[in-house]
Amino acid sequence: MNDKSIIKNNFIKYVDQIIQNNKVSHAYLVEVDNYEDDLSYVFHFIKMIICNLSYSEVDLSNNPIIEQIDHHNYPDISVISSDTNVINKSLLTDLQKDFMNKSMLDGKRIYVIKEAEKLNGYSANTILKFLEEPEEDIIAILVTDNRYHVLDTILSRCQVLSLKEDSLLWDLDDQFFDFLDCIIHPNNFFIKYNSYMKDVYVDKNVILKHLLEVENVILSYLENNKSLHKDVINILSCKKDKELIHILSIMEEELPKLKFNVNLKLWCDSFYSRLIGG
């Protein structure tokens, strides 16, 4: 199985878990390799959310809503895109006005922002409160070909899903390995507590970035991806698969809290205590 197949299988497995466990977030950022090829996965996920179906069930269903989505005329989906280098603030203002009205279908309403890296400071500020405090059943799906070109204020408020092939092959630095080591051996976080809280666990967005990378490498390891860095494999191999799955479940519950105005020290204490508690 090649890297792209692994990434797609990871994506499918993860979105199936989201639907199965009824844990749909209010905001996602989906990283794609190619818009033309990968947007179909994004809209498949949207169908899953709206119809409450698994990935495979979407293709087997005769639900008329799916046909409406395929023909781009489902009223509770809005797509924002721009032909210029910037997503204009007025597009997002109009979107918010549209979404102030209650859905006539009493279902979930989803807005998609293509090329989210085109959000600049002005347009991003327009959408921030909408991302942070959405009304019930409003879901944002932002799409980009590089998560690190998206403003940190936006990235930190979204759960990241990746369809990008090189998401398995990051330039792994020492700080990444510090985070990975602490996730797998959480006692080490408290052993080095003072130095970590002073030098490493400072910037919430940087923490979130590295922890999302850790989450992705664990998922890739569970898929037996052979292209992972050998040091990553060595660190993860000390845990059984069921232990890694449990770690992922804790991360899934705790990471979204970083997107809000939490006390970073208290969050770290709680997160690593949970990992130790098992």
Report the CATH number that the domain containing residue 151 is assigned in CATH. Answer: 3.40.50.300
* Residue where a domain terminates, one of 168, 195, 221: 168
- Condensed to tens digits (0 to 9), the pLDDT of residues 155-180 reads 878 888 888 765 554 456 678 888 99
Q: What pLDDT shows up at residue 165?
A: 67
Residues 163 and 202 in one domain: no
Say yes or no: 84 and 149 in one domain: yes
Q: How far apart are CA 152 and CA 146, in angstroms?
A: 12
The mean pLDDT value of the chain amounts to 87
Phi/psi of residue 29, nearest 5 degrees: -120, 120
Q: Is the pLDDT of residue 3 over 60?
A: no
Tell me the longest C-alpha to C-alpha distance in the chain.
Answer: 57
Cα–Cα distance for residue pair 136/120, rounded to 1 Å: 26
The domain in which residue 33 lies consists of 1-168
Residues 162 and 203 in one domain: no
Of residues 140, 112, 184, 143, the one with CA closest to residue 25: 140
Q: Are residues 82 and 178 in the same domain?
A: no
Q: What is the pLDDT of residues 26-51, one digit of tens each?
A: 899 999 988 888 999 999 999 999 99
Of 121, 147, 168, which residue sits at a domain end? 168
Give the pLDDT confidence of 192-232 residue by residue, as tens digits: 999 999 888 888 888 888 888 888 888 878 877 666 777 88
pLDDT at 169: 47
Q: What would the two tokens of residue 240 be?
A: 């059984």
* 203 shares a domain with 122: no
My answer on whether 123 and 173 are in the same domain is no
* Number of domains forming the structure of the chain: 2
Nearest Cα residue to 80 out of 92, 97, 96:
92
Spatial contact of 217 and 227, defined as CB atoms under 8 Å apart: no
Phi-psi region of 115 (alpha: psi -120 to 50; beta: other; left: phi over 0): left
Kindly report which listed range (54-63, 104-113, 131-140, 142-151) carries the lowest average pLDDT score: 131-140
Whether residues 1 and 37 share a domain: the answer is yes
Q: Are residues 139 and 201 in the same domain?
A: no
Identify whether residues 141 and 277 lie together within a single domain: no
Residue bearing the bigger pLDDT, 255 or 165: 255
The dihedrals phi and psi of 10, each to the nearest 5 degrees, come to: -60, -40
pLDDT at 1 over 60: no
Say whether both 25 and 146 belong to one domain. Answer: yes
- One domain for residues 161 and 219: no
| Final residue in a domain of this structure, among 136, 168, 200 | 168
Residues contacting residue 120 through CB under 8 Å, at least 6 positions apart: 86, 87, 151
**Are residues 41 and 91 both part of a single domain?**
yes
Confidence of residue 116 (pLDDT cuts 50, 70, 90): very high
